[in-house]
Amino acid sequence: MWQLISNEKFIRVKEIYLQCLLMGLVLRAINFVSLLPSKYDGAVFTVLAAAGSIILFIDLIKNLLNRKFPYDKMLVFFVLVIILSTVMNRRYGMIPNLKLVVWSAIYYFLAYQFGKDFYKNASFFKKISLTLICSWFLLVISSLVMFFLNFGYEKFYSPRDRIRIGFLESRLFGVFGDPNYAATASVVIIILSVYYFIQSDNKLSKLFLSSNIFLQYLYIVLSGSRTAEVIAYVSIAITISLLIFNLKRFESWSFLYKLVLSVISIVLTVFIVHVFIDLTKFFFTELLELLKSRISDNNLARNSQANSSLIRKDVAESNDVSNLRFSIWRSALEIFSTSWIYGVSPKNLIPYAREYLPNGFIAQNGFIAHNSYINVLVSTGVLGAVSFFGFCFKNLFQIVKNINWLKLKIDDFNFPYFLVVLSYAVFGLFNSEFVLEHTLGSLVFWLFLGRLMGRVKND
């Protein structure tokens, strides 16, 4: 029976599924979706989860019949640890964790494996990238319109849960549920836009991509996301270093001279970009005053919260540079010490904390870990951490070792894909993303990492 499903058709089914999943996750990133009854979102992703599970099951059977097991064994063990942790902490709830197991399997064994097996499928990956670029272009434009109208809307579902749309709290949320996630995606879109700008010979395409780069930059600035700025600085630093080591002009220079030039260039460039960001904020702060008076004169719907500045009060008026993250991480590590072998399970951190450490910061405030790596450690214990971090270090070593960083080609996807993966990895230092999460960033991370590893292992 399984032989009736041809490989070509099955590959096409995987492509269509991943494209549909991408669009579903893009739509979920829009905050307006939260205003719809949750049953609609639940129904869509239940269908996507079921379809992904069926595809994975067929893929597993086909591989076993051919006496193959291509899936990464460390990731397989990691998923088994998630299941173990879910069972051992079942009294706090199993359904959310079991859903996460399904999505983790889809990301690790379908998305990552597809990228790895079909890394030469340039057409598919171009469709994925252009879908991201065009989607974020439209969403960012919509968000900027809200800024210029000084439009803001806020609705509380509970004392802690709320939806924010538009320009609020001196930050541009726009149409996105979380400006940090959206701004990080904007950094990724800039990386991809630059890559396709260099590749393209079409003037209209270049005009669109250059406009998109500028708009994404504006959103990063107006979102007030310090995390996105850090990611941008890291990307700039790596790009400048590799440019200096790749340019023929410096070919005769010694390694030490190139290194010194790289450091000086990075410091100067990051400083210039930082100053440019501050100037942009100053310009738009002045513009806000003008917009407020114009909107008031025309009797347009105004923001209920006075937004005349881009200075975030939660940052400017706080002595905590981490914005509570140090307290959250310290509390998370205390929780880890109470269940260090298999963890507390990914979706049960807060109820577990309230039972065992009721006076802890997480139990008192209901925060999640806000760090992907600490979240892995706390949720899955030493067993999960060893398998997942082992996978990460193994892949990082192979990428650094096997890609010729000193002879990069303009039309090669290695470097931009590496920057995209690195962007989400750095984002994971400050927020929960790409692992034990079901987000757009998770899908992009695993697809792009898979393609990188396919190139590394086969070429």
For 54-71, what is each residue's pLDDT tens digit? Answer: 999 999 999 888 889 999
Confidence check: pLDDT of 164 > 80: yes
Beta-carbon-side half-sphere exposure of residue 180 (alpha carbons within 13 Å) = 13
Mean pLDDT score across all residues of the chain: 88
Residues 431-448 have a mean pLDDT of: 93
Percent of the chain whose pLDDT exceeds 70: 90
Q: Cα(353)–Cα(330) distance, rounded to whole angstroms?
A: 13
Buried b (16+ CB within 10 A) or exposed e, 73-110: ebbebbbebbebbbeebeebebeebeebbbbbbbbbbb
Cβ-contact 96, 438 below 8 angstroms: no
Assign 295 a pLDDT band (cuts: 50, 70, 90). Answer: low
Burial of residue 236, with CB atoms counted within 10 A of its CB: 0-12 exposed, 13-18 middle, 19 or more buried: middle
Confidence check: pLDDT of 300 > 50: no
The predicted pLDDT at position 457 comes to: 82
Model pTM score: 0.92
pLDDT in tens, 24-55: 999 999 988 767 777 788 889 999 999 999 99
pLDDT in tens, 401-416: 887 776 777 668 889 9
The predicted pLDDT at position 409 comes to: 72
Assign 299 a pLDDT band (cuts: 50, 70, 90). Answer: very low
The predicted pLDDT at position 388 comes to: 96
- The residue with greater pLDDT, 434 or 246, is 434
Confidence check: pLDDT of 86 > 90: yes
φ, ψ for residue 311, nearest 5 deg: -85, 120
Give the H or E element holding residue 83. Answer: helix 73-88
Confidence check: pLDDT of 236 > 50: yes
First CA to last CA across the chain, in angstroms?
Answer: 34
The predicted pLDDT at position 9 comes to: 87
Cβ-contact 103, 435 below 8 angstroms: no
The predicted pLDDT at position 301 comes to: 47
- List the single range of 44-58, 218-232, 319-333 with lowest mean pLDDT: 319-333
The predicted pLDDT at position 410 comes to: 66
The predicted pLDDT at position 155 comes to: 79
Confidence check: pLDDT of 319 > 90: no
Cβ-contact 391, 75 below 8 angstroms: yes
Buried b (16+ CB within 10 A) or exposed e, 342-358: bbbbbbbbbbbbbeebe
Q: Cα(78)–Cα(394) distance, rounded to whole angstroms?
A: 14
Residues 242-259 have a mean pLDDT of: 78
Structure tokens at 441: 């960033």
Q: Which residues contact 61 (CB under 8 A, 6 or more apart)?
A: 2
The predicted pLDDT at position 177 comes to: 86
Percent of the chain whose pLDDT exceeds 90: 59
Instruction: Please name the residue ranges forming H helices in 173-225.
Output: 179-199, 203-223
Q: Which residues contact 325 (CB under 8 A, 6 or more apart)?
A: 370, 371, 430
Q: Which residues contact 276 (CB under 8 A, 6 or more apart)?
A: none
